[in-house]
Structure 1
Amino acid sequence: MTPPNAPARERLDQEKLVVSALAIADAEGLAAITIRRLATEHGVTPMALYRHFRDKDELIHALADHLLESVPLPEPTDEPWDVQLRALFAALAEVLTPHAEVAPLIPRRILIAPGGLAIAERALDLLARAGFDTDRAAAVGNQALCSVVNLIPFDPATLNIQDLELREDRIRAKRAALARLSPRRYPRITAAADALTGCVIKENFLDLGLDLIISGLRGLPASAPARD
């Protein structure tokens, strides 16, 4: 049992600090996170947090690491490599979707955080099973993981209620701009104006993005093409 007069460093929990910082990032962006702000929210002095994080950079990295540790790694199955790789990418995307502000940090932590290393190892193993040589698997795996992460900021599911209202205003303005285009000069764009502006169905956005990534991997040669 913790004594009532225990020092702040014994009451602070690093995991709770990370969760608090993540909530700030989700609501206000990464720029809103400061050691002082987090200390104030926990009723301690900034010095108490420096016992857990050397600086803001280390705190920010801890957010990305926390998300990577949260990804439930799918169990290996007898399904084809592309089915398993899509499931791995979907698990990563599902964890990142509520945290669009932090998602761009993920590629830099993949080969550092234990959770990221587990994801990278599984992805490289599946690409090796697909026939990619070691260097090619590393290159396409890195590109594919970055592509998954880059889907997150554009997923309509990451928008909050205020953003949705702003989004509707922008859609109307974009639709009006397309309506002014010449159908003779831009027949395909004007014909698809509603689809282009009403754009992506929320439920299908990530599914379509993941399908495109996996389909692209299927069509790649197993080794890098020779260059002149």
Structure 2
Amino acid sequence: MDRQVSAQRVRLNREKVLRAAVALADDIGIAPLSMRRLAQELDVVPMALYKHVANKDELLDAMIDVIITEIDPPAAGPDWKDVVRRRILSARSVLLRHQWARQVLETRTNKTPGVLGYMDSFIGIFLDGGFSVDLTHHVMHAIGSRMWGFTQELFDEPAGQDSGPVQALDEATQQAMFQEMATRYPNVLQIAMASAHDEDGVVGQGCDDQFEFEFALDLLLDGIEKLRAQGWTSARAAAVG
């Protein structure tokens, strides 16, 4: 009875539910998040939530829309590369604050209003920067998940494992592993051991996460600018035209 009275006292709205869900996911991660757990956090009965979100799937979609509002809007300026770069790095900082968001972005297929608006703003940056529709189409494919501030890195460690490949092993076993790697995969070992560890990286432990991301992003943007300056057109678009 006390629980029902409490539910009536707490005035919920959709924004309050979503903000609480984001904060809870920040605290416990996305896997333990449930409608029941969120109801406990808000001190309401679970049924009170269903007036605002139909189920967990809708909740996850809406949570992404919430964090998208934290990404800086496109800056004003004639240099499209600078505008795109700043927006992508802003998105990356948002993922650092909400480390559950990458997993949700990778698994959700529903294009919510927030997601569509974010994509639309990127397309607008390119079109306003003098890109053809054809080049913009291919550029959006090339940028891919970088638009959200992450990529799948080459030397990522599997989730839940230590960043050092042999941290928990004794010295003799470490030496044996290094010797085996040096014999069979010398080039991989040379590059992997050159990695500077970054335990708090948004993409994963291993290399200097932020530097590698910006390095690849700048390479990509420079290449895109060359195509724009050349008036590049895909073979398919040229055939149609």
Q: Same fold (TM over 0.5)?
A: yes
Tell me, yes or no, if the aligned pair for 1:96 and 1:152 is still in contact at 8 Å. Answer: no
Question: Which residue pairs with 1:101 in the alignment?
Answer: 100
**Quick one: which amino acid aligns to residue 223 of structure 1?**
T
User: Counterparts in 2 of 1:27-66, with a 5 A limit?
Assistant: 27-66=27-66
Aligned partner (choices 202, 208, 222) of residue 201 of structure 1: 208
- Shift of the 194–173 alpha-carbon distance from structure 1 to 2, 3 Å rule, reads farther
Answer yes or no: is 1:137 the counterpart of 2:136.
yes
**Quick one: which amino acid aligns to residue 43 of structure 1?**
D
Tell me, yes or no, if the aligned pair for 1:65 and 1:113 is still in contact at 8 Å. Answer: yes
Question: Which residue pairs with 1:68 in the alignment?
Answer: 68
- Distance in 1 between the 2:208 and 2:234 partners? 36
Decide which structure has greater helix share: 1
Tell me, yes or no, if the aligned pair for 1:20 and 1:38 is still in contact at 8 Å. Answer: yes
SS of the counterpart of 1:30?
coil
User: Counterparts in 2 of 1:170-189, with a 5 A limit?
Assistant: 170=165, 172=167, 177-182=177-182, 186-189=185-188
Tell me, yes or no, if the aligned pair for 1:140 and 1:217 is still in contact at 8 Å. Answer: yes
- Shift of the 197–77 alpha-carbon distance from structure 1 to 2, 3 Å rule, reads closer
**Quick one: which amino acid aligns to residue 19 of structure 1?**
R
Structure 2 segments unaligned to the other structure (5+ residues): 154-159, 198-205
- Distance in 2 between the 1:68 and 1:44 partners? 27
Deviation of 1:46 (Å): 0.9
Question: Which residue pairs with 2:200 in the alignment?
Answer: none
Question: Which residue pairs with 1:8 in the alignment?
Answer: 8
- Distance in 2 between the 1:16 and 1:110 partners? 22
Report the aligned-residue RMSD: 3.8
Answer yes or no: is 1:224 the counterpart of 2:234.
yes
- Shift of the 49–90 alpha-carbon distance from structure 1 to 2, 3 Å rule, reads same
- Distance in 2 between the 1:126 and 1:120 partners? 10
Deviation of 1:47 (Å): 1.1
- Distance in 1 between the 2:130 and 2:9 partners? 51
Deviation of 1:93 (Å): 1.5
- Shift of the 179–173 alpha-carbon distance from structure 1 to 2, 3 Å rule, reads farther
Q: Please, what TM-score do these two structures have when normalized by structure 1?
A: 0.72
**Quick one: which amino acid aligns to residue 215 of structure 1?**
D
**Aligned residue pair count:** 214
Question: Which residue pairs with 2:157 in the alignment?
Answer: none
- Shift of the 70–192 alpha-carbon distance from structure 1 to 2, 3 Å rule, reads closer
Answer yes or no: is 1:122 the counterpart of 2:129.
no
Tell me, yes or no, if the aligned pair for 2:127 and 2:136 is still in contact at 8 Å. Answer: yes
Q: Please, what TM-score do these two structures have when normalized by structure 2?
A: 0.69
**Quick one: which amino acid aligns to residue 235 of structure 2?**
P
**Quick one: which amino acid aligns to residue 70 of structure 1?**
E
Deviation of 1:65 (Å): 0.5
SS of the counterpart of 1:48?
helix
Tell me, yes or no, if the aligned pair for 2:10 and 2:44 is still in contact at 8 Å. Answer: no
SS of the counterpart of 1:32?
coil
Question: Which residue pairs with 2:81 in the alignment?
Answer: 82
Structure 1 segments unaligned to the other structure (5+ residues): 155-162
- Distance in 2 between the 1:54 and 1:99 partners? 23
- Shift of the 202–140 alpha-carbon distance from structure 1 to 2, 3 Å rule, reads closer
**Quick one: which amino acid aligns to residue 187 of structure 2?**
R
- Shift of the 97–225 alpha-carbon distance from structure 1 to 2, 3 Å rule, reads farther
Question: Which residue pairs with 2:201 in the alignment?
Answer: none
More divergent stretch after superposition (185-194 vs 136-145): 185-194
